[in-house]
Structure 1
Amino acid sequence: MSHIGVLESELRTFEIELASQQKLALASYCDELVHWNKKMNLTGLGGHDMVRRLVVEPLWIGHQLKPQGILADIGSGNGSPAIPLHVLCRFSKTHMVEVRARRAAFLRHIATTLKLSGVIVHRSRFETIASELRPLDWITFQGVAFTEGLFNSIRNAAIATTNVVWISSPDTRPPAKPVRTFQVPFTATRVLLFRL
């Protein structure tokens, strides 16, 4: 089944409606992810699992939180959750922060291929550029350890209204108390929302 077919099936399961143009952009993102994954390790997932985890789960989270403004995604690597969130929420600006050169090249390629305006790829550690990205309305990260060092860097980049979203597994322990915790349906993915 094509990525557009898998995506439409998953969207029905999660009861998410998207415009045709958004579906096509996200299916193209999946196509590019599979293509680039042959050259470098972007994900161990494939098929339905890849579409659900890397595209539909962030879309569901976006529908729950309704983010807008300026987003910074830490450790953007394979583009999730930043790409699906940007396609859905149309942030005025999305900063994707990735330290590895090849992954940053992939992210630049995706932003260009999908014609995503307002997307900026930073090849850097978040800790190095955190204060330069202010003000941020939203900060997301997935597959990144929420260490004390990262916590402090996020505090440096955050303003009073910044929302921090950690997409994680059920057994992880955050360094601060979240203001809200919820689970993505049909999965073991846990979402923790912080205001620092």
Structure 2
Amino acid sequence: MSALAPYAGQLAEGLAALGLEVAEATRARLLAYGELLLKWNRVYNLTAIRRPQEVVTHHLLDSLAVAPWLDKVQRLADIGSGGGLPGIPLAILRPELAVSSVETVNKKASFQQQAKIELGLGNFQPINARVENLQPELPFDGVISRAFSSLGDFVQLAGHLVAEGGALYAMKGLRPDEELGALPAGWTLQAMHALAVPGLDAERHLLVLVRM
């Protein structure tokens, strides 16, 4: 039995609690990604999460909690994605969403490439590069990050990737009120959503930042 098989029900219940209708085949791919993450993590230290149950709550459900607010995004860049979070779960959930995952650490980008191959993710593209040096052919209508140190850094390093009318999506824990007060000129908070992640007893927020 795979390490995550006992938690398939928890994943299904969590997705339903998030208001996401997810086919069984899609849930199986999400669990397969979690298995890959656990397997590679033994050697490559992709994430501090090592318990199978926490892969479901802290990674899969936490990543997909933002999905309802990305329903109009067609081209998404995931910045500093590490083991592919939230980009890979979002790419699995929405096959029509084009996800580019930008990761500076080679071993983490290599894992993402392997996950792309093994999971057959034609809509997912890992990019081993520094975000500030990235010059895509087309800008993105959504740029997301789960791990940037501050909102100011996120705006300054990734703001150039956002298309006209697009937005930066910052996944945060506690409300970052102090960081909001230090946003670079030309950017403003459009919305802040409190996220309730099933099985995760911690505050989560999604901040949507747009050009003024």
TM-score by length of 2: 0.83
Going from structure 1 to structure 2, the CA distance change for 1:133 and 1:166 (only over 3 Å counts) comes to farther
- Structure 1 counterpart of 2:192, from 178, 181, 184: 181
Give the drift of 1:140. Answer: 0.5
Deviation of the 1:138 alpha carbon: 0.8
1:191 to 190, 197, 206: 206
Q: CA deviation at 1:73?
A: 0.5
Same amino acid, percent of matched pairs: 21
Kept after mapping to 1: 8 A contact 2:81/2:147? no
Q: Distance in 2 between matches of 1:4 and 1:115?
A: 21
CA contact (8 A) 1:72 1:136 kept: yes
| 147-156 vs 175-184, greater mean Cα deviation | 147-156
Establish whether residue 44 from structure 1 lines up as the match of residue 55 from structure 2. no
Structure 1 Cα separation of the partners of residues 137 and 55 of structure 2: 30
Q: Secondary structure at the match of 2:189?
A: coil
User: Is 1:75–1:141's contact at 8 Å kept on the other side of the alignment?
Assistant: yes
Once superposed, what is the RMSD of the aligned Cα atoms? 2.0
Where in structure 2 are the equivalents of 1:51-90 lying within 5 Å?
Answer: 51-90=56-95
Equivalent residue, structure 2, for 1:5:
9
Question: How many residues end up aligned between the 2 structures?
Answer: 195
- Among 139, 143, 150, the residue aligned to 1:135: 139
Counterpart Cα distance in 2 of 1:91 and 1:135:
17
The one-letter amino acid of 1:122's match is I
Q: Is the 8 A contact 2:76 2:144 kept in 1?
A: yes
Q: Does 1:106 align with 2:106?
A: no
SS of the residue 1:39 aligns to: helix
**Structure 1 spans left out of the alignment, 5+ residues:** none
Larger Rg over CA atoms? 2
Once the two structures are TM-superposed, the CA of residue 13 in structure 1 deviates from its matched residue by: 4.0
Counterpart residue identity of residue 206, structure 2: V
149 and 58 in structure 1: CA distance in 2 versus 1, 3 angstrom threshold: closer
* Kept after mapping to 2: 8 A contact 1:68/1:89: no
Separation in 2 of the partners of 1:139 and 1:185?
22
Tell me, what secondary structure is at the counterpart of 2:65? helix
Give how far 1:63 is off: 2.0
Q: Tell me the CA shift for residue 102 of structure 1.
A: 0.5
Q: 1:96 to 1:65 in 2, by over 3 A?
A: closer
Which is worse superposed, 168-177 or 103-112? 168-177
Correspondence 1:17-32 to 2 at 5 A: 17-32=21-36
1:181 match: secondary structure: strand
- Relative to the length of structure 1, the TM-score reads 0.89
The unaligned stretches of length 5 or more in structure 2 are: none
Shift of 1:19: 0.9
Which residue of structure 2 aligns with residue 158 of structure 1?
162
